[in-house]
Chains A and B, each alone.
Chain A
Amino acid sequence: MSKFAGMNNAQITSSQCAKLLFLFALGSAVLILPTAITAIAKQDAWLSVLLVGPFNYFILIVFLALADRFPNMSLAQYAEKVLGVWAGKVLTLTYLLLFLLLSALVLRNISDFIGLSVLPRTPVWFVDVTFMIVVIYGVFLGIETIARTGEILFGWVMFVFIIILVSLFNQFDFHNLEPFLYEGIVRPLKGIYPVLGFPIGEFVFITMIFPLVSKQDRAKLRKSLKLSVLLLVSTSVLLIVFLIGVMGAEEVSRSPFSVYDLAKNINIEEILVRVEILVAMVWVGTVFIKLALCVYALTVLTAQMLKLSTYRPLVVPYAFVIVPLSILAYRNVAHAKEFATGVWTVYSLFQGFVLPLLLLVIAAITGKRDSSDGSFPEVKRSDGGHTEDGNPTEGAADLEGKEPSRA
């Protein structure tokens, strides 16, 4: 681990940022979303994912345009610059609710999956608390640690993805994809609706990450994000084509965790069987990244809104809110379905697209730009000149003969 890990103001590369976006989007969506899309678009569900592809990048263009105007600031900071202090704080407060709720819902997803598939007799709160402890540790160590974990996980995700596709090729039936556009283009268009909110509307987390991309690497950011979106769309389309081709649209639309059920079908001469646990492992990993990014965004937004000098003291207290909220969020399956596939799209698009677009328009009209540094100040401690992050301050570094901390 880097000696800078755990710093408030750690930096990541554009490639790490793109991988985080990919894992975040795949996060909880890959296992749950195919069911929602297939229930609407049936055998043309893959077309819905293809149609929504350009919107993935379009929403990022809005965030990139905001990042061009305010290159070293996060959403909470430039909201105050554009709208004024108090209106900016109110806007940030709405994002706090979004990330708090999103964290709780992602945690609920993983505990539901583990409860239904792997550990049916384990209490929900135990799964929640165990998972949250790991997330707290990750967020506490900082974005650099999360990004490095993402790089490792990215390789694993691609490996498992290829294994699934190759192993299921012999069971693929093209007739399951027919009839193509039987009811016209309307059904695939309707199938876009759940994807827009989950995960596209949630991409707003990336406004917290952009200022942390190292300055030397920012020129490559657009290209990396384009590649990430391209990979995301092609992965999703292939996955849905295989889901429908192997299981059929009806079975996919009934399965709560369709990709997990898809992996259960893998059986090569009774030698390669029960590989669904690989899917479960990778999914737990991607959900970890998604939850860690949500909690990171939540704590950093809070710290910046309240003008605190570090976000780290807030990480553990927020876990105390997220765990009960995840248990409270859904009353029953019907409530969960109505909220996740109906309300969430409108809500997350409002927060994740409409409000940032409004900010961009207002900033463009008023001509506001600011390249001042929005990073957290380095807090000097009284015990020998160390920063709050445990790294030596410049003066102390000279005394100890070490490299000064960067920020």
Chain B
Amino acid sequence: MLAIIIMTMLAAATATVIWIRNGAKQLFRERGWALFILLTGTLLAIGLLLRLPVPNPTDWIMTIFSPVYKPIVGWVEKGL
């Protein structure tokens, strides 16, 4: 629980800095996207800390490329 609180506080502090610095430079679109990415990362971290079933991109790639990589790896590992 402490880890989640620390993580949230760190993300909030970073968000504040992004909000103020980019606002001062009138970089409003940059600020919006930066906060969106920060929110994604924070949710991912909290999901991991809470041991939620977070989707893993390596699994997506394995599934997409399995028709290609499995025969090649099968050939490479044959006879090892």
Residues of A within 8 A of B (CB): 39-40, 97, 100-101, 183, 190, 193, 302-303, 306, 308-310, 313-314, 316-325, 327-331, 335, 338-339, 341-343, 345-347, 350, 379, 381-383, 388
Contacts and interface: CB of A to CB of B under 8 A. Distances in A.
Nearest to B29: A308
A320 B58 contact: no
6 closest A-B pairs by beta carbon, nearest first, are A320-B41, A317-B37, A321-B41, A317-B38, A313-B34, A324-B45
- Is chain B's interface secondary structure helix, strand, loop, or mixed overall? helix
B14 to A, nearest CB: 6
B30 to A, nearest CB: 4
B25 A388 contact: yes
Given A313-B34, A317-B38, A328-B48, 9 more contacts: A40-B80, A193-B73, A313-B22, A322-B41, A324-B47, A335-B58, A341-B73, A346-B68, A350-B65
Contacts of A342: 69-70, 73
Contacts of B72: 193, 345-346
A339 B36 CA distance: 29
B34 A97 contact: no
Contacts, number: 124
A183 B41 CA distance: 49
Contacts of A97: 57
Given A330-B58, A343-B65, A346-B68, A324 B22 contact: no
Interface in B40-71: 40-42, 44-45, 47-48, 54, 56-58, 61-62, 65-66, 68-70
Nearest to A382: B26
A40 B76 contact: yes
Given A193-B76, A316-B18, A330-B58, A345 B37 contact: no
Given A101-B57, A302-B33, A325-B44, A388 B27 contact: yes
Interface centre among A39, A308, A319, A329 (most CB of B within 10 A): A308
